[in-house]
Structure 1
């Protein structure tokens, strides 16, 4: 294997909510092949489940499609990402012993409350409370066969907590494998101590072994090679969550850089040499494969508010009309669903609108601007916490397809933003596979070569100041309602006319 891996392709596998996506990518970011296969789930109130066997079927289909066009470079390695917080139970042989509870399954609220009472900082939909719920519902089955996978246990009836990608990597390698610390984070894994916590009510030996992302888990076994088309012997590399995978695909890995993912909701993820400490838990930290930190937060504001208010509208046509309202006379905080998580924690927060829009175009403009104001407040909050924010900013997510909205966001933030050509999480996993498979350059360097920037959006002169007054109105309103802490509001108002990259 070449030290730099330049003569090879790398496979990234993304286990999404609605589909599995696979990319075959060279070291310079050339996509040689891509494949996808649909996934279905069961939603019923707070329930959201998927059948783990469907993941494997979809991986096989998508991998074969991605590899079909390429008869050239050999596959140097692969990595898999999944939805953060998706968890199931497996038996000692690594077979699914329960349905998979998806990232937003809400049935473990009581378990989460008990964990918080015990001093563990978890949210209701995190994997750890859901694992406890699963232990109650599917925890043990009769059996006498010995455990065949790694980790402690008493027999084949012992259940092991397993994350979404672990099911696939185990099938690829042909045996149960350790989980990665990125997916283990929402199951309570302490990234600073590299250890599992003591969890009341959890059977001994239920937690898997943990390795750092980028670690080699094994090689594709002959049976998996026949099913997927991935050559036997291909190295299988421990992956990260889909959010971290998207961050890798954005290239935002050097300290001070940030990736703003705007889809249905808004997520900001950055890079730092040290963890960003936040006593409120609004900002949390993943750990990068090299030991540095990836702080971030997820808001409930986003483009989903546009879909809800303007079902069936043509976004490009509405953007064109909205340009006449800069700034809008209306100020919004466009929550997609009740409750806010970032840049402040307010379970009782609701979408707000101040003023009366002149027409639909004015309301559209106000919603676009409101999301950008929330994005600015996120960056102001990160600066308030002492996070480095002076590096490059990247826009990804479905909303980054709107040139108008990209320009508006750059204007309101007062800083340039890069828009990459390809931002799929599968690309991030291809980069991580190369990093872990070659032992060559650092992940930031690997991603820097794979990620291609389509355009850089520069803020227009004077526009940041133009939007300062409505932003201040929003900050004041959020404070009056008791959602935004006064010190955070004061910090944001002190930076009204500044580039948000300034320290």
Structure 2
């Protein structure tokens, strides 16, 4: 008898699905994109049906590519971008578009929580700060601005919950996604704080029951089977958050394991058993032993995106050169950055190009290029952008380290910017810790397939994740650079603190928030 597993990940730009076998071999893969809807400044939405259609189609294509009997699939698990807010009625029909993690419309509601509940109380219960990022704040916005939809709502669902609901007919959530509701979720006891939700003015009955990430919460219905190519009755797991699934795929499964994904944003996570939560960081229940294991997460808004921004804004000559030579544009840009010395001769970038999440949680902050002189070149500016992302990572890393959470070295780097040995060494020097590159990061869909395998009982635990990871290059800190960055970091930290009072004035003048 063959055993296969399906994992899907609903992302900000598209959905990926895979079919794997018991040996961790990817037999089928599919990816489908969908539009990001931005109807107003500060709003970011998806059509929730796009989630379902993409999950259904990518699963179907993956099964066809794998050429397997769907009856041999032992489980399905879905992760997604998080947080998100989707209201569904009693017929499980969506009432509005999903507003996602980057949506900022709940600024007033977040301020109400600070003024009336308080950061300390929210953090003590949820392990998370107050911000429009979180799903409870998004639901408060719906209540205040679309009360008729709020009254009609049966449950709130996340971007992972919605396709899971379409597969099974059950409107539930998992411990990881529930964590990112923030206010109102007791992250230690894994239950809703009904008294607090009522104090906030929200109906606790609208919040879905939460389950361990790898628990079977239902089976594929006949209608969903016809749509996806899965067999009716296939077990479906509760699922998880995209970053958690990616960390599982990269082998970050044990206490102290650390991973940094250098994608468009930079997301660094540390796995820990101890219920110790770092202020101003994101806390998520891990999918591995999700009843009592956590990930402390730092999420900077601009990481790999700074390189793309430089390419599109200042790199026209480099793009022409790349087109002429056939060279990859990012390889050419990295060589350009290498022409500048560490520290960029005193040029420092605070990389809040799109506001910032951890640890400052300032949606109206913007980037600052400090120390620019006529002696600085284009290479200085580019390297300064890259170093700025590393400064932001160091700000987060230092706070997590100070909390006393166990951190196992080396730090595992994956995705995007981590493909550059130059940028990896920069991270290593900035943090002052050894780093390794995961050569073939299989990503969140693969991690979900592992969750499905554990939930189905085929894998006894997540130890196979480490067996299937392939580590590439390793890096050690260059002490001279580390010492220099330590001095510059003090200046970097002061820049934001000294000017942050001006951001609100700027937002008031420009109208951009």
Work out whether the TM-score is over 0.5. Answer: yes
The 1-side partners of 2:284 and 2:144 are apart by 30
Residue of 435, 459, 467 corresponding to 1:416: 435
Match for residue 452 of structure 1?
469
What are the within-5 Å matches in structure 2 for residues 66-145 of structure 1? Answer: 66-72=62-68, 74-116=72-114, 117-119=116-118, 120=122, 121-140=129-148
Moved more, 226-235 or 409-418: 409-418
Q: Number of matched residues?
A: 460
Check conservation: 1:106, 1:124, Cα contact below 8 A: yes
Change (3 A) 1:336 1:481: closer
What are the within-5 Å matches in structure 2 for residues 421-432 of structure 1? Answer: 421-432=440-451
Match for residue 385 of structure 1?
403
Match for residue 307 of structure 1?
308
User: What is the Cα deviation at residue 288 of structure 1?
Assistant: 3.9
Residue of 387, 411, 434 corresponding to 1:369: 387
Check conservation: 2:19, 2:63, Cα contact below 8 A: yes
User: What is the Cα deviation at residue 481 of structure 1?
Assistant: 5.2
Once the two structures are superposed, residues 354-408 of structure 1 have per-residue CA deviations (whole angstroms, 9 ceiling, x without a partner) of 3436322232223223323333343222211112123331112311222332233
User: What is the Cα deviation at residue 158 of structure 1?
Assistant: 4.9
Match for residue 508 of structure 2?
none
The 2-side partners of 1:468 and 1:270 are apart by 25
Query: Which protein is richer in helix relative to its size?
Result: 2
User: What is the Cα deviation at residue 238 of structure 1?
Assistant: 1.0
Residue of 397, 402, 407 corresponding to 2:420: 402
Change (3 A) 1:28 1:458: farther
Moved more, 14-23 or 395-404: 395-404
Task: Spell out structure 1 runs of 4+ moving beyond 4 A.
Answer: 136-142, 343-349
The 2-side partners of 1:456 and 1:257 are apart by 18
Residue of 304, 307, 332 corresponding to 2:348: 332
The 2-side partners of 1:171 and 1:343 are apart by 36
Match for residue 56 of structure 1?
52
Match for residue 336 of structure 2?
321
Check conservation: 1:338, 1:351, Cα contact below 8 A: no
3-state secondary structure, aligned to 1:482: helix
The 2-side partners of 1:109 and 1:324 are apart by 42
What are the within-5 Å matches in structure 2 for residues 277-292 of structure 1? Answer: 277-278=277-278, 280-290=279-289, 291-292=292-293
Match for residue 182 of structure 1?
176
User: What is the Cα deviation at residue 137 of structure 1?
Assistant: 4.6
Match for residue 495 of structure 1?
none
Show structure 1 runs of 5+ residues with no match. Answer: 2-6, 143-155, 485-503
The 1-side partners of 2:157 and 2:57 are apart by 23
The 2-side partners of 1:106 and 1:331 are apart by 31
CA RMSD of aligned residues (A): 2.6
3-state secondary structure, aligned to 2:472: strand
Match for residue 496 of structure 1?
none
Change (3 A) 1:464 1:276: farther
The 2-side partners of 1:140 and 1:340 are apart by 33
3-state secondary structure, aligned to 2:192: coil
Check conservation: 2:83, 2:180, Cα contact below 8 A: yes
What are the within-5 Å matches in structure 2 for residues 8-47 of structure 1? Answer: 8-44=3-39, 45-47=41-43
2:284 matches 1:269: no
Match for residue 490 of structure 1?
none
The 1-side partners of 2:333 and 2:482 are apart by 20
User: What is the Cα deviation at residue 170 of structure 1?
Assistant: 1.6
3-state secondary structure, aligned to 1:435: helix
Moved more, 88-97 or 317-326: 317-326
Check conservation: 1:88, 1:134, Cα contact below 8 A: no
3-state secondary structure, aligned to 1:76: strand
User: What is the Cα deviation at residue 185 of structure 1?
Assistant: 1.6
Check conservation: 1:276, 1:284, Cα contact below 8 A: no
Match for residue 368 of structure 2?
351
Check conservation: 2:351, 2:392, Cα contact below 8 A: no
The 1-side partners of 2:167 and 2:161 are apart by 10
TM-score, reference length from structure 1:
0.84
The 1-side partners of 2:413 and 2:378 are apart by 26
2:475 matches 1:468: no
The 2-side partners of 1:465 and 1:251 are apart by 31
The 2-side partners of 1:385 and 1:352 are apart by 30
Change (3 A) 1:365 1:104: closer
Once the two structures are superposed, residues 147-171 of structure 1 have per-residue CA deviations (whole angstroms, 9 ceiling, x without a partner) of xxxxxxxxx9453211122221121
Once the two structures are superposed, residues 241-275 of structure 1 have per-residue CA deviations (whole angstroms, 9 ceiling, x without a partner) of 11212221221122222111112222111111213
User: What is the Cα deviation at residue 307 of structure 1?
Assistant: 2.4
Match for residue 239 of structure 2?
239
The 2-side partners of 1:168 and 1:50 are apart by 13
The 1-side partners of 2:237 and 2:140 are apart by 28
3-state secondary structure, aligned to 1:69: helix
